[in-house]
């Protein structure tokens, strides 16, 4: 999905907001009929509309920021910066959810931020708006994850997927006329394709969560960076420099450690005490 979006913005000069519109509009066209025919019982009114709206807005913001980011900088750099999300989630868990975060996880948070600074290198590189957008993607996505945690025991994941797509499609449809240029046949096909891949990814994520715990699946998300490096190099001639590699290793290590540590702490809390 990221590769197709970058192709539309870089190689065909389609405005990034129009690409975001295609991602949301065709996601709704694909996912709504599928849910209606196969999972109709999930199409109910949300039990907590406020959290659903907040969650959808945060995901929408992260999508806009990320698509703008990859329209300027490499896929690998943008995604690496976006991977600060688990680190921000730990921070927000302590501030918003009032969860107890120990010294080890706080150390991992600081370690992760150092990784982000290595990539940005303030004072050595001119800080681009696209770089800040990559970081903003991670922050917005972290708020989205916090909202998702709130909804996990309230609404169906499929309902959440549909609601997220609908709200995002409505918001971007109001904005996109200001930058609209009639897409070519090639551009229409790519917008449908990236929406199809995005929807398939969400459905596979929902199915995977039915068979395994989120804490065990979370580290697998970092495999996305491997695909993005390959796509970025093969199709756009972008390959991470040594600073991006170093920052990537630090951020991913920090995120994986936080995920594993959260799982350990949760397991300790749920284990019965033997007297």
Asked whether residue 275 is domain-assigned, the answer is no
Identify the domain containing residue 8 by its residue range: 2-270
pLDDT for res 107: 86
Residue 14 · residue 181 · CB < 8 Å: yes
| Number of domains the chain is built from | 1
Count other C-beta atoms under 10 Å from residue 207's C-beta: 10
pLDDT tens digits, 137-153: 999 998 888 887 776 55
pLDDT for res 268: 67
pLDDT for res 208: 76
Place of tokens 């709704």: 28
pLDDT for res 271: 60
Asked whether residue 121 is domain-assigned, the answer is yes
Residues comprising the chain, all counted: 275
pLDDT for res 201: 85
Partners of 122 in beta bridges = 125
Residue 79: Cβ-neighbour burial (10 angstroms; 0-12, 13-18, 19+): buried
Asked whether residue 31 is domain-assigned, the answer is yes
List of residues 6+ apart from 275 with CB closer than 8 A: none
Round to whole Å and give the CA distance between 233 and 238.
5
Residue 73 · residue 240 · CB < 8 Å: no
SS3 call for 243:
helix
DSSP string, 4-25: HHHIIIIIS---HHHHHHHHHH
The radius of gyration computed from the CA coordinates of the chain, to the nearest angstrom, equals 19
Asked whether residue 102 is domain-assigned, the answer is yes
pLDDT for res 83: 87
Over the chain (275 residues), what is each successive 10-residue block's mean pLDDT?
94 95 93 75 72 88 95 91 86 77 82 84 71 93 81 66 86 95 95 92 75 69 86 91 89 84 70 54
Asked whether residue 49 is domain-assigned, the answer is yes
Asked whether residue 169 is domain-assigned, the answer is yes
Residue 122: φ, ψ to 5°: -60, 135
Whole-number mean pLDDT of the chain? 84
């Amino acid at each position: 999905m990221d590769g197709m979006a970058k192709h539309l913005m870089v190689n065909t000069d389609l405005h990034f907001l129009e690409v975001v519109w295609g991602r949301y509009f065709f996601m709704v066209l694909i996912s709504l009929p599928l849910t209606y025919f196969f999972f109709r019982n999930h199409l109910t009114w949300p039990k907590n509309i406020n959290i659903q709206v907040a969650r959808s807005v945060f995901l929408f913001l992260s999508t806009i920021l990320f698509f703008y980011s990859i329209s300027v900088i490499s896929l690998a750099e943008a995604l690496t910066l976006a991977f600060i999300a688990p680190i921000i989630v730990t921070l927000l868990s302590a501030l918003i959810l009032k969860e107890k975060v120990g010294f080890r996880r706080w150390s991992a948070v600081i370690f992760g931020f150092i990784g982000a600074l290595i990539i940005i290198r303030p004072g050595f590189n001119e800080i681009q708006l696209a770089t800040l957008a990559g970081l903003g993607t991670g922050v917005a996505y972290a708020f989205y994850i916090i909202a998702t945690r709130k909804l996990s025991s309230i609404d169906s994941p499929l309902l959440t997927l549909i609601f997220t797509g609908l709200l995002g499609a409505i918001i971007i449809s109001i904005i996109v006329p200001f930058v609209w240029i009639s897409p070519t046949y090639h551009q229409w096909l790519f917008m449908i394709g990236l929406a199809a891949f995005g929807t398939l990814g969400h459905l596979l994520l929902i199915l995977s969560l039915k068979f395994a715990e989120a804490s065990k699946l979370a580290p697998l998300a970092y495999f996305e960076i491997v695909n993005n490096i390959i796509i970025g190099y093969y199709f756009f001639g972008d390959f991470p420099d040594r600073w991006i590699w170093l920052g990537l290793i630090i951020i991913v290590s920090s995120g994986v450690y936080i995920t594993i540590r959260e799982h350990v702490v949760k397991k300790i809390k749920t284990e019965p005490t033997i007297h």
